[in-house]
Amino acid sequence: MGPDRSRETTPAGIPWSEFGRLRGRFTDRWPTVFHLPLVHDHFALARQHAGPVRSLLDVGATERVHEPNARATWPDVDYRSLDLDRTNRHDYHDFAAVDRQFDLLLLLEVLEHLEPRQAIEMVAQCRQRVRPGGHLLVSVPNVFRPGVQQEWTHVAALPYQDLGALLHHGGFEVLHGARVYYGSRRSRLLHARLFHALHRFLGVDYAQSIVMLARRP
C-alpha cells in the first residue's frame, strides 16, 4: 500500500478534496465561461446590486485609477485607497493601518500578482475590512482570452471557478459574476453575433476580465 496522501494540500494550503468541492460549485453554476454575462466595465455589477455605497476602500489602487469611476457612480462616497507603493498618494499603505470597515472594497486586477497563499491572506484581510452585509468587487484577467497572462508580473492564473472557490473559502457569498469587455460597441457586436459560435467551439473568449461581486454575510 502506498503512502497516505489524503492530507496533502494545494499550493494555497487548502486540501485538494475541499478545493475540488468548492471549485465544483462554480463549475455547476457556470458550466463554461460563456455562461457568465457580458458587461462593459468593472463597476456594472456593483452599480446594479451593491445598493447604497457610502464608503469604499480601493485595495491595490496603483495611481487611484478607479477613483473617477467610483465617484461618478456614487457622488458622495468616502473613497479611500490602499497600496504598498509609496511613490503614489494613498490613504493607507498597509492593512494594519486600516481601523474601520467599509460598505464596498475594490480588489481589481490584483490577485493575479500574488502567490496562492498570499491571495488567501488578501481575501481574509478584505473580509475584515468589509462591514457585515457589505460587498467586495473583485476582478482578474480572463484566462480564456489568449495572451491575457503574458505579463511578467502575473504570478497566478485564476479561472472563474477558482476565483469563486477562493472567495467562498474566504467567507464571502458570491452573488454575481460577469465577463468584462472594454472594446467598442461595434467590436462587441462582431464578437457576440458574428463570431459567437466560433468562440464557443474553440473555447476561446474575447472578454478581457472576469469580475465577481461577493457579500460578507
* Element spanning 211, H or E: strand 209-215
2 band by pLDDT with thresholds 50, 70 and 90: low
Sheet holding 78-82, edge to edge: 38-39, 173-180, 209-215, 130-141, 102-108, 55-59, 78-82
Q: Which residue has the higher pLDDT, 185 or 157?
A: 157
Q: Is 37 helix (H, G, I), strand (E, B) or coil?
A: coil
pLDDT over 60 at 5, yes or no = no
CA-closest candidate to residue 109, choices 142, 139, 145: 139
Q: Which three cell numbers stand for residue 155?
A: 504570478
pLDDT over 90 at 95, yes or no = yes
Neighbours of 122 (CB within 10 A): 21
8 band by pLDDT with thresholds 50, 70 and 90: confident
pLDDT of residue 140: 97
pLDDT over 80 at 106, yes or no = yes
Query: What letters, b where the CB count within 10 A reaches 16 and e where it falls short, cover 47-85?
Result: eeebeebebbbbbbbeebebbeebeebbeebebbbbbee
3 band by pLDDT with thresholds 50, 70 and 90: low
pLDDT tens digits for range 37-92: 999 999 999 999 999 999 999 999 999 999 999 999 999 999 999 999 898 899 99
pLDDT of residue 67: 97
Domains of the chain: 16-215 (3.40.50.150)
11 band by pLDDT with thresholds 50, 70 and 90: confident
pLDDT over 60 at 7, yes or no = yes
Q: Which residues contact 62 (CB under 8 A, 6 or more apart)?
A: 83, 85, 88
Instruction: Kindly tell me the sign of the dihedral angle through the C-alpha atoms of 119, 121, 124, 129.
Output: negative
pLDDT tens digits for range 187-202: 766 666 656 766 676 6
Please give the share of the chain, as a percent, with pLDDT higher than 90: 72
pLDDT of residue 217: 96
Query: What letters, b where the CB count within 10 A reaches 16 and e where it falls short, cover 134-155?
Result: bbbbbbbbbbbbeebeeeeebe
Helix axis angle for 116-129 and 160-169, nearest 10°, is 50
pLDDT of residue 98: 97
Q: Which three cell numbers stand for residue 84?
A: 504598498
CB of 180 within 8 A of CB of 208?
A: yes
pLDDT of residue 6: 58
pLDDT of residue 203: 72
Helix axis angle for 16-29 and 160-169, nearest 10°, is 120
